[in-house]
Each structure stands twice: as C-alpha cells, then as structure tokens.
Chain A
C-alpha cells in the first residue's frame, strides 16, 4: 500500500468537478482509498456466495456468469421489501442540500462522495431497468446499464460511505444514504464482493462470539490483566463472573474494549463501576460482542450475529440486559433487534437495582444503555465522585453518528462527563449532536490499507477538535463508541497530534471514589494524578 500523504498535502482538496459527466467518468481505484477483498474462508464460514481468492485491484473479479441477473433480481427483491429503498429511489430532486454534508466529500472533493451522487450510482441502474422513462429515454432520464465498470464503481464508492446518516438530517425528504449503501452492500455480497475487514470480523463473531475472535479463555485472561491493573491502582480486587446463570443483568459491550487501549480503560471503568455498586451481573463469552459487522454486510447476517444476545439472556435466565458504549451497536439495538429477534418476553422491564428507576424507554427490548444507567445513578447521588482527579483533562465530547442519528442519546453522556470532569467544552455547533461528523472509519472501514480514505473522512471531525484545542486547550476527546476509540487515535495523531481519546466510563472510573480504595496516585492509564507526581 502507498504511504499516506502528509496532512498539509492531504488538506489541499480540489472541489472542482471533472470535465466529464459522472456517468462518463469511471471509478479510478486509488491506493489507500479501498480495503482488501474478502477471503474465501470467511465467506465460507458465513455461508456467503462466491468464496474465492480475489483482489479489487484485479481486472477480473471472478464473478458468476449471470452476475447481472443476480444483481437485478436482488435489486427487485429489495425494492419489494423496503419502502425506504423504493421511495428513496424515486423522490430525490437533486437539490444538492446533502452535497457538502458528507465527511468524505469534504475531505476528498470527489463528487461521487456527495450523498446525492453516491445514491445516483445505484438510482441510475434502477431507472434503466425498472422505470418506463429510464428504459425509453436512457441517459436523458438519468438511466444507465449495469456494466462491469458500474459494478466496480459501486464497490469503490459504497465502501466509501460510513452509513453515518448525516446527509439524511439535511435532506428535505429524509433520504438516507445509509439505507442505500446498505442495499448496495447487500447486492455486492450476492457476488461475494465484501471487504475482508468486514467479513473477517463477521466470521469471527459468528463462530467465536466476537469480532476480534477472542476465545472464551482469552476473554477471561484479558479481563484478568485489567483486574490486576485495577488492583494496583485502587488496591481493590474485583472478581467478575462469566456465563453465570441466575445473574440479574447480562452485560454486553463491543469486544474492541477487551482488546486494545484506550478501549480497555473503558472496560476497566465498567468493571470498577459495577463492583462499586455490587451489581448482580455477568459477562458472556458467547454473546461477547455488542457491535455487529453483519450490519455492514446484509440484514440477514446482522440478524444472525445479533441473535446471540437474546439467546444468551434467555439461557442464563437474566432479568434484563445492559449495553456498553458503542455506536452502531446501539443503532442496531434501538432500530433493529426487536424486529429481528424479539419479542424479549422472557425478560423483565429493566429496573435499576441501585436507584429503583424503571427504564420505561426500554420496556420492549429490555436493554439499557450504560450512559442512561450511569446518568441515573449520578442524578440519584449514588456515586461518590471526585472530578478533581480528571482536572488534568480538558474534555470535549464527540457524538457518535449512530447513537446521535439512530437513537438521539445526547444529554446522558454530557451529564455524566460534567459530573466527573471539571473542564468540559463543546465543539462547533455544526459538528455535534445530530450534525456530528463521523470519525471517518465507521461501517467497517477502520482497516489499515485504506488509511488515506480514513484520514480524509476524519478531517471534519478532527478539524473541529483542533478548533477547541486551540481555543480552550482541550486535550481529550470523549466518546461512547468502540470504533471511535479504535479509529480516532490514529486520526487525531494525524490531524491534531497530542489529543487523547477516551470512553466516558474511563472518566467515570477515574473520578469514582470506591469503598476501601487506597489513595490513588495514577489514573487508569498509569499516568500520575495531579499533585501525585513522583509518588509512584
């Protein structure tokens, strides 16, 4: 793979559209802008069609003879199954309101990264095959044939969309490019055209319960490392349980937080909080993934991976489920899980054993977001907090796309942060809450080989961070998403060096005064606390 250009080079973006019309400008596969193709073994594990060794850079993608027929039948089937898809194919007026809302367009200037044009890539084929005007008038009606070149263009650009839904906020009809990208990726998967960064984790999740492929003993081992660290820092020995029947609560969080920092500090935060509360809960090694890379592949695979959460809750006989900090995990839990794998009639309406609060907003899915849970604890004064321990931090909060635009969890994390940190600053109003910018690596794009794409897509987010770094001296970006915690460190290093990235519950645990703890001299990262330097 080519080396990613330096920031000052990358930030010279030319927004002038090409001389040739978009239908006459085939996709040029630029190094650093795409991910490797799916490996056959992963597709076989997932029982997906056309497993074979291939590379997107190859001329020949080794497709079945009748690939066009497969795609067009697939398209027809999806038009009949999703009103969203059908309506969005028909009603766009190309007003252009969405055009400059996409982080990939802002960072790349490529017109096919304008949401409207990304959608037209598919719409043009829809018109050419399924509308009278398109069949008769062809190009004049914005219609075209499904050629090999169009197929490659689809692959290139539908894996340059993070399904973040920012465009759909601004569209006067609510046209959601995420819906269109999801359909396009489903279609591509009919031909075995996934990226391996998606099909690999999905296959891991299917067989081993989580994207990282952590086997049960490894999960326990990883948590034990964290517990040792917690003991060193606080003097408290924590003993969590795994796959324990009869626990009140099943806790599910993205596996990324069990594997690499800074996510691991967030996981330590969960462990400390739950211990302090004396919560009757269990981890599961079978349902050890909150995230869902199936969601970036197809509806069916997403459902297959998601099924483990309710199945495990049922097997263990828990009363309700608590979910950790993750972005697309919560879009799935909020907008899909009940319709796939519900009804969760074997669970009870979630009730906080600490405050007695009944979570009415989760009375059907029986699954509560940890930020809701913790905000409720703080509101009821159930936690002893010392925000001064976070005084070396000037914190800003990044709303993750999925929890922002597929759920609307804005105040809960802010309330928590303001209670555990003394220095909190908001970024530019056009870049937070429902207008938040994606990290640029969502929907399975956080690979290594597409680093230029990720840095381009991360520009708007990182740039808004840079603004508060310069204005207020912000040095920490808090978020509630495991992909953010995995992807943003690299993006911040590139665009705003020196800015850290943290989960909200890491901040909570650092401020949490635990019963019987020794005087803390370091935070969870092992960095000396203010006034404690040299006391290690």
Chain B
C-alpha cells in the first residue's frame, strides 16, 4: 500500500511536468522557476536542519565501542573501531561514510531445530548500498559538465573511465546502469523481505521511485530520444549564471527529468535522505572513547538532590557503631 501510494505520487509528478510543458507551455516555469525554487529550498532546508541538530548539545561521551579500548601499553588498542583520539575518529568516520564499514559487518541468522541459532556474514545490503551511493555520486559529478564551460579535464576523464566498456553510441556509461540496478535491488529487498516490508513507510518507497524515474528519464534522453544536448547546455549554463533563457526544441523528457530532480532536491531536507548530514553528527560514531582520560563537559549539567553521607550516618549511626564501622559523629 505504501509502495503503491509512493508510485502514484511519482507518476503524478511526471504528469504535472508533462502537462505543464506539453499542454500549458509553461517552459519557463518548469525550466527556470521550479529549479531555482527547489535549489533554494534544498540549500536553506539542509542548512537549517543541520543547524537544528547542532543546536542540541552532546552532553555525554557515548561512542559505540567496537574494538579493544586503549588501556595498558602492552594491550593492542583497536584504533579505528574504538578510537581514543581525533585522528582515530576521523579514520572511523571516513571508513563509515566512504565504505559503510558498519554495514560491512552485517550478519544474518537462522534459527534451526535443536534449537540452534546460526549466524553468517551477509554483504548484499552493503554491496547494494555502496553501489547505489557511489554510482549516484559519479552520475552527479558527470552532470557538472552541463554547468561548466570549458569542461574541466578531470570531468572528461571521469566520463571516459565511466564509459570504458565502449558499447554503442553514445557510449554506455556504467554509472547509470549500476545506479538503475542498485535502486532496483533496494526496492526489491524492501518488498520481498517480510521484516523489511513490515517496517517500510511510504517515505521509504517514494525516494526510490523518484530516483528510479530520474535515472530512467536520463537514460531515455541519452540513449533513445537523443535530447538536443546543445540546447540543454545553453539552459543549464544560463541557470548557473543567473541569466537563463529557454532555448527552442528541447524535448519534454528533459523537463520531466528536471522537474523530478527539483522535486528530489526540495524533498531532501524534510526526509530521511538527510542521513547524509546526520551520520556526520552521530555521537555514537563521531566521538573518541577517551572519557576516562579527558573530561567532557555537559553544558546543562545541574545540581541534583542527593542523599548525603551525613544523612546516611544519621540513619544508621548506632548500627554502624555496633558493627565496628567508624563514624563522623559519635
């Protein structure tokens, strides 16, 4: 149900763009105004969300320690999984953000008769997630060539690398294919694994369908309808130089693509996609385990009502004395 509703929402977005451009001729709206608005929402939204998180303090030093602590000099510390220094934390975060290290350690269990609980490593989610994020990043970077003139050499070489298979013309780019496969995998596991289906919200399917449609519309433009790339680049260059005009003859598929991208941008600050910023602020990962070595400060630490030793001794003085325990007041 959640999946169907999300699919309907994405189809509605496509129809809005299709009708808006094809029927209502609102090229400027969909080609200029909407992208600007979306970008503004994205930037303001992301920044304010991160600031909002940042405004809440981190009162305690609560890293999840996943390896040997630093203790006696002859015991080997696990510096990445249980870092006690800033450089260790940076290492841990880099591995987490770039290589999804925690997900790499994922396991699956099986309860057999006996009973016997058996565990094994499972890396499909790690692989699918990594393929998805990295291919998405490559696709994103490749798109920078639409916003730069002349195109920097590194972008051109990235594209050469991405198309190393040299299949067809225009050459097949691997990143797009991987992205499509990875999104499909992420969707399929969500509907096929009963536990994951049970926890999935509409907000989990919607971005998948959205990204799938963005990838598909891009692929259609590149390989099938062969969009007027000169026109597209004139528009995109105009957008970044704040001097946009709508060139003639760009196909409606492009406007759909652009509208879906705009929708994604505007959606990000309000969605789980904010995990890209949130992981950097996650106290269980970005803190060193050094709280016995160095004092951390809780900014809102306040005095509390305690039961003092004096009160305790008043309660038990006679019993203490008869048990031979020294007391403050005889």
Contact = CB atoms under 8 A, between A and B. Distances in A.
B70 interface: yes
Contacts of B66: 169, 405, 408, 434
Contacts of A463: 115-117
B327 to A, nearest CB: 8
A220 B324 contact: yes
Interface in A60-100: 79-88, 90-97, 99-100
B211 to A, nearest CB: 13
| Interface band, chain A | 35 or more
A304 interface: yes
B323 A111 contact: no
A132 B270 contact: yes
Interface string A107-138: 00001001011001000000000011100000
B107 interface: yes
A16 B72 CA distance: 47
Contacts of B74: 379
Interface in A203-234: 206-209, 215-217, 220-221
A217 B319 contact: yes
A216 B320 contact: yes
Contact of A357 (B54, B72, B129): B72
B54 A83 contact: yes
Residue of A79, A100, A406 most packed against chain B (CB within 10 A): A100
Given A340-B298, A372-B71, A459-B115, A216 B65 contact: no
B178 to A, nearest CB: 19
Contacts of B169: none
A90 B53 contact: yes
Interface stretch (B153-161, B229-237, B275-283): B275-283
B132 to A, nearest CB: 11
Interface string B296-314: 1110110011111100110
A279 interface: no
B199 A96 contact: yes
Nearest to A379: B74
Nearest to A283: B325
Given A334-B291, A342-B295, A141 B201 contact: yes
B65 A170 contact: no
A94 B72 contact: no
B62 A172 contact: no
B167 interface: no
Contacts of A307: 304, 306
Given A217-B320, A361-B70, A367-B292, A170 B106 contact: yes
Residue of A21, A300, A338 most packed against chain B (CB within 10 A): A338
Contacts of B119: 428, 430-431
B64 A405 contact: yes
Interface string A410-451: 111001000000000000101101110000000000000000
Contacts, number: 322
Contacts of B105: 169-170, 435
Interface stretch (A51-59, A173-181, A382-390, A507-515): A173-181
Contacts of A92: 272, 275
A404 interface: yes
A466 B203 CA distance: 42
Interface stretch (B10-18, B29-37, B188-196, B244-252): B188-196
Residue of A11, A80, A431 most packed against chain B (CB within 10 A): A11
Nearest to A362: B292
Contact of A411 (B68, B281, B291): B68
A405 to B, nearest CB: 5
Contacts of A339: 59-61, 291, 295-298, 301
Given A169-B64, A215-B316, A405-B65, A94 B201 contact: yes
Nearest to A344: B295
B1 to A, nearest CB: 8
Interface in B231-287: 270-272, 274-275, 278-279, 281-285
A200 to B, nearest CB: 16
Interface in B98-135: 100, 102-103, 105-109, 111, 114-117, 119-120, 125, 129
Contacts of B225: none
Given A17-B195, A174-B284, A174-B285, A364 B116 contact: no
Chain B, interface SS category: loop
A17 B194 contact: yes
Contacts of A346: none
A91 B274 CA distance: 6
Nearest to B195: A99
A245 interface: yes
Given A209-B312, A342-B295, A434-B66, A142 B201 contact: yes
B193 A173 contact: no
B107 A430 contact: yes
Contacts of A308: 306-307, 309
Contacts of A311: 306, 308-309
Contacts of A179: 62, 284
A493 interface: no
A63 to B, nearest CB: 24
Nearest to A205: B307
Interface string B186-222: 0000000111111111111000000000000000000
A7 B57 CA distance: 46
A15 interface: yes
Contacts of B313: 286
A464 interface: yes
B72 A141 contact: no
Given A91-B272, A408-B65, A106 B109 contact: yes
A114 B196 CA distance: 10
Contacts of A131: 270
A467 B106 CA distance: 21
A140 interface: yes
Contacts of B24: none
A175 B58 CA distance: 14
A169 B104 CA distance: 11
B322 interface: yes
A173 B68 contact: no
A336 B58 CA distance: 12
A317 B71 CA distance: 26
B151 interface: no
Contact of B111 (A13, A84, A300): A13
A82 B279 CA distance: 15
B23 interface: no
A285 interface: yes
Contact of A363 (B60, B203, B293): B293
Contact of A82 (B56, B65, B198, B272): B56
**In the complex, the 6 A-B pairs of residues with the closest C-beta atoms, listed nearest first:** A91-B278, A408-B69, A11-B115, A408-B65, A174-B284, A430-B119
28 contacts: A15-B111, A15-B194, A80-B56, A83-B54, A84-B282, A90-B278, A97-B106, A120-B199, A132-B270, A140-B5, A169-B64, A169-B66, A172-B96, A172-B100, A172-B103, A173-B278, A174-B279, A179-B284, A216-B325, A217-B316, A220-B323, A242-B324, A245-B326, A339-B61, A361-B292, A365-B291, A372-B72, A464-B117
Given A133-B203, A217-B325, 17 more contacts: A11-B115, A81-B59, A83-B53, A84-B283, A86-B56, A95-B196, A96-B196, A97-B102, A97-B106, A170-B105, A173-B285, A243-B326, A285-B316, A335-B291, A339-B291, A339-B301, A408-B65
